[in-house]
């Protein structure tokens, strides 16, 4: 029999087997230091499409906001129509959502500071955003569907940036939808 308890440190709802020691999969409270793979006592098993068991964390921690689900085609269209201004907004929102969820990394404000005051380091963004998304999946106990290596798509003329944007936005949409449906 399982019961649900709330982590006193971060507020995450944790499902625990009867007699087992509750360990929070978000902050590691109640057990050893936070590991890359969440403790089995903090996991709920769901059936995968292949018919086998697949591990999935219970709930997003209380207080964490999921990001917005955006259609990649609309994002691309808005970037073109606004001559790139929507691109700045999209980067700001993406960095802010990733920072809000992960609690680390660049936020939207830091991105804007670099965008307008120190633009040269921004050449790293095509590698940085996919790396953050991959780490977000990994911290959630899932396999990375995207890594910083996706940034090399920008070297393919014209189509590369489109492919990069679609890959990044699809992975974000999948994560937000799995967590809370996004907003």
* Any domain includes 170: yes
Does the pLDDT value for residue 56 go beyond 50? no
Does the pLDDT value for residue 14 go beyond 80? no
* Any domain includes 66: no
Q: How far apart are CA 1 and CA 50, in angstroms?
A: 26
* Any domain includes 133: yes
* Any domain includes 143: yes
What percent of the chain lies above the pLDDT cut of 90? 48
* Any domain includes 85: yes
Q: What average pLDDT does the chain have?
A: 80
Do 40 and 118 lie in a common domain? no
Average pLDDT over residues 139-161: 92
3 state DSSP class of 3: strand
Q: How far apart are CA 155 and CA 46, in angstroms?
A: 40
Do 46 and 84 lie in a common domain? no
Please give the model's pTM, rounded to 2 decimal places.
0.65
In 3D space, the residue among 163, 165, 102, 110 whose CA is nearest the CA of residue 133 turns out to be: 102
Supply the range of the domain harboring residue 97.
Answer: 72-180
Q: Return the DSSP state at 119.
A: -
Q: How far apart are CA 111 and CA 109, in angstroms?
A: 5
Do 43 and 105 lie in a common domain? no
User: For residue range 124-147, what is the model confidence (pLDDT) as tens digits?
Assistant: 999 999 999 999 999 888 999 999
Beta carbons within 10 angstroms of residue 68's beta carbon = 13
Q: How many CA atoms lie within 13 A of 172 on its CB side?
A: 31
What percent of the chain lies above the pLDDT cut of 70? 75
* Any domain includes 25: yes
- Per the structure, how many domains does the chain have? 2
Q: How far apart are CA 88 and CA 128, in angstroms?
A: 15
* Any domain includes 67: no
Name the phi and psi angles at 13, rounded to 5: -80, 125
Question: What pLDDT was estimated at residue 168?
Answer: 96
Average pLDDT over residues 48-57: 44
Confidence of residue 16 (pLDDT cuts 50, 70, 90): confident
């Amino acid at each position: 029999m399982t019961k649900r308890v709330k982590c006193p440190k971060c507020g995450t709802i944790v499902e625990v087997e009867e007699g087992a020691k509750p360990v929070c999969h978000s902050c590691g409270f109640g057990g050893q230091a936070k590991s890359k793979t969440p403790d089995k006592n903090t996991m709920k098993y769901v059936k995968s499409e292949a018919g086998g068991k697949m591990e999935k964390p219970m709930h997003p921690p209380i207080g964490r906001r999921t990001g917005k689900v955006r259609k990649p085609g609309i994002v691309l269209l808005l970037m073109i129509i606004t001559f790139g201004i929507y691109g700045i907004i999209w980067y700001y929102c993406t960095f802010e959502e990733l920072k809000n969820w992960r609690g680390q990394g660049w936020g939207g404000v830091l991105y804007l500071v670099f965008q307008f005051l120190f633009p040269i380091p921004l050449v790293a963004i095509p590698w940085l955003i996919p790396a953050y998304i991959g780490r977000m999946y990994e911290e959630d106990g899932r396999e990375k569907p995207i890594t910083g290596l996706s940034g090399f798509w920008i070297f393919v003329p014209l189509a590369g940036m489109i492919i990069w944007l679609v890959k990044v936005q699809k992975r974000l949409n999948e994560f937000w939808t799995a967590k809370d449906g996004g907003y």
